[in-house]
């Protein structure tokens, strides 16, 4: 005989099974999405969800969870639904005002770290910091760094400052403004940037996936290279001799970014690839 609880309160396993089936036609990672969302609602890890599959979920929590899954089905990113995203082993707060940190952006961090010795002071500029992901990762790995992070969005900077405070990383100066405007006349050892690089056509084609993220952080103009070109052209006058510029870009934009760097007078240009062997980050060195 079934108890009232068994008929009105689903188990974790049943809830995950049913909602994964519901989400499967709109998300390639339906099961993972559901586990992350339910873990957020119940304040449990994915391991705890798996080991506690026979536990019942209250009607209140079930309603909250189902509502979030429906929003995910409508295209809302999981990171926005749970309010956080894991990046470089850090849990960062994200909102609809910030670009959700991608795994590819960790390549940008790795690239920058190759030019930043652990035991030496240096100053770094992070352009378009968004949630602060890159600046915070560099600050955690290189405590001696002095980092300046800029963004044109007040709300993005608010989130970045909150993340820095949560992680107790105090060596970052956050400034509002368009690219190099807040640091006029200043030079840096290393400049990193993850600018908008999605073309206007790609924004149309991928509207469902990108509809909940800020266009300001995505749109790179007609060919996707508008912001990249501006940064590369201005970077040399903000680099110390021998300093490095590292910039993230789209998986088809590597050759064009290399040409722009050469035209700007940068040397030792090199591209870093992702797991699909696409060049996603290109670096160049200022003349000595």
Residue by residue, DSSP assigns 194-251 as: ----B-HHHHHHTHHHHTTS-GGGTB--SSS-HHHHHHHHHGGGGEEEEEEEEEE--T
Q: What is the mean pLDDT of residues 122-151?
A: 96
Domain assignments of the chain as residue spans, ordered by start: 4-80, 84-285
Average pLDDT across the chain, whole number: 89
pTM of the model: 0.82
pLDDT recorded at residue 69: 94
Q: How is the beta sheet containing 239-248 ordered, strand by strand?
A: 172-176, 145-151, 122-127, 188-193, 239-248, 279-285, 267-273
Please check whether residue 149 is in contact with residue 123, taking contact to mean a CB–CB distance below 8 angstroms: no
In the structure, what pLDDT confidence band is assigned to residue 278 with cuts at 50, 70 and 90? Answer: very high
Residue 109 CB: number of other CB atoms within 10 A?
23
Pick the CATH number of 84-285 from 3.40.50.300, 3.40.50.10490, 2.20.25.10, 3.40.50.150: 3.40.50.150
Checking if the pLDDT of 11 tops 80, the result is yes
Q: Which residues does 261 contact at the CB level (< 8 Å), separation at least 6?
A: 232, 245, 269, 282, 284
Q: Over the stretch 258-277, which tens digit does the pLDDT of each residue have?
A: 999 999 999 999 999 998 89
pLDDT recorded at residue 58: 94
Checking if the pLDDT of 251 tops 70, the result is yes
Selection from 263, 127, 266, 269 nearest residue 193 by Cα? 127
Measured CA distances, 243 to 133, 161, 174, 190, 202 (Å): 22, 26, 21, 6, 33
Selection from 169, 107, 105 nearest residue 140 by Cα? 169
Integer Cα distance of 269 and 284 in angstroms: 4
pLDDT recorded at residue 8: 76
**Token duo for residue 261:** 């760097």
Q: Over the stretch 173-216, which tens digit does the pLDDT of each residue have?
A: 999 999 999 999 999 999 999 998 876 566 554 555 555 565 55
Selection from 264, 275, 232 nearest residue 107 by Cα? 275
Q: Is beta strand 267-273 parallel, antiparallel or unpaired with respect to 239-248? A: unpaired
Q: Over the stretch 222-236, which tens digit does the pLDDT of each residue have?
A: 778 999 999 999 999
Q: Over the stretch 26-83, which tens digit does the pLDDT of each residue have?
A: 888 999 999 999 999 999 988 899 899 999 999 999 999 999 999 999 888 888 898 8
CB crowding 75-96: b at 16 or more within 10 Å, else e: ebbbbbbbebbebbebebbbbe
CATH topology of domain 4-80: Helicase, Ruva Protein; domain 3 (1.10.8)
In the structure, what pLDDT confidence band is assigned to residue 1 with cuts at 50, 70 and 90? Answer: very low
């Amino acid at each position: 005989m079934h108890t009232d609880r068994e008929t009105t309160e689903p188990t974790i396993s049943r809830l995950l099974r049913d909602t994964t089936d519901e989400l499967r036609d709109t998300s390639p990672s339906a099961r993972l999405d559901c586990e992350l969302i339910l873990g957020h609602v119940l304040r449990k890890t994915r391991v705890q969800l798996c080991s506690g599959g026979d536990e019942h979920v209250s009607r209140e929590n079930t309603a909250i969870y189902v509502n979030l899954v429906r929003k995910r089905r409508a295209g809302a990113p999981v990171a926005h639904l749970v309010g956080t995203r894991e990046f470089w082993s850090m849990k960062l707060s994200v909102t609809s005002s910030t670009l959700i940190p991608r795994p590819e952006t960790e390549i940008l961090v790795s690239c920058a770290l190759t030019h930043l010795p652990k035991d030496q002071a240096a100053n770094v500029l992070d352009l378009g910091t968004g949630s602060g992901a890159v600046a915070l990762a560099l600050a955690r790995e290189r405590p001696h760094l002095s980092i300046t992070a800029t963004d044109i969005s007040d709300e993005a900077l608010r989130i970045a400052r909150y993340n820095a405070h949560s992680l107790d990383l105090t060596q970052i100066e956050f400034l509002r403004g368009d690219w190099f405007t807040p640091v006029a006349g200043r030079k840096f050892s290393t400049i990193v940037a993850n600018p908008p690089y999605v073309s206007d056509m790609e924004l149309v084609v991928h509207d469902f996936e990108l509809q909940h993220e800020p266009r300001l952080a995505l749109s790179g103009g007609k060919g996707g290279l508008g912001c990249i070109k501006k940064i590369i052209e201005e970077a040399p006058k903000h680099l110390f001799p021998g300093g490095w510029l590292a910039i993230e870009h789209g998986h088809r934009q590597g050759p064009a970014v290399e040409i722009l760097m050469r035209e700007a007078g940068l040397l030792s240009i090199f591209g870093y690839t992702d797991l699909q062997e696409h060049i996603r980050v290109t670096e160049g060195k200022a003349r000595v």
